[in-house]
Amino acid sequence: DTGKTWVKEFDNQNGFIGDIVFTDENTGWFFSGGGGTLSNIYRTTNGGHGGIVSVDENQSKLMVSNYILEQNFPNPLNPTTTIKYQIPELSFVTLKVYDVLGNEVETIVNEEKQTGSYDVEFDGTELTSGVYFFRLQAGSFVETKKMVLMK
């Protein structure tokens, strides 16, 4: 059944997924725990290679526990790049781009956002080549990162 059947080997009734390990093509172990305590161990002996596993968008929002601003990619950019960030709670979010003199050149995000992971595209078509900074502010969190525009 391509890994759909799992047998509980140990049960302690709490926790989060800790790890999934396969020792060969078919034999796998699923560990979970919480608060430093091992909670459950599941085992499969018919792991197979079928099916695609995904996380529902609403569930992924629940997993965000910290404010994070990732480095843009690609960097250097020409002329577009993607900036990803996460917010762990409802927050008013601003994401702005500044030149090396500290002048604001663009506001990318300026609105209230729900808990979750976001990615936005920045288009530097109208800017000259050079170093720029992008700054995320959400609640009391503030972080700035550098990006390079090369045309």
DSSP labels, the chain: -TT---EEEEE-S--EEEEEEESSSS-EEEEEEETTEEEEEEEES---S-------HHHHHHT--S-EEPPPBSSSBSSEEEEEEEESS-EEEEEEEEETTS-EEEEEEEEEE-SEEEEEEEE-TTSPSEEEEEEEEETTEEEEEEEEE--
pLDDT, one tens digit per residue, over 31-90 is 665 555 555 666 777 764 444 444 445 544 446 778 999 999 999 999 999 999 999 999
In a domain, 108, yes or no: yes
Domain carrying residue 37: 7-53
Would you say residue 124 lies in a domain?
Answer: yes
Is 1 a domain residue?
A: no
Give pLDDT, residue 7.
54
- Is residue 60 a part of any domain in this protein? no
What's the structural domain count of the chain? 2
Average pLDDT over every residue of 117-137: 96
Based on the fold, state whether residues 26 and 87 are members of the same structural domain: no
For residue 101, the domain's CATH number is 2.60.40.1930
Same-domain check for residues 99 and 144: yes
Same structural domain for residues 45 and 87? no
Q: What is the pLDDT of residue 60?
A: 46
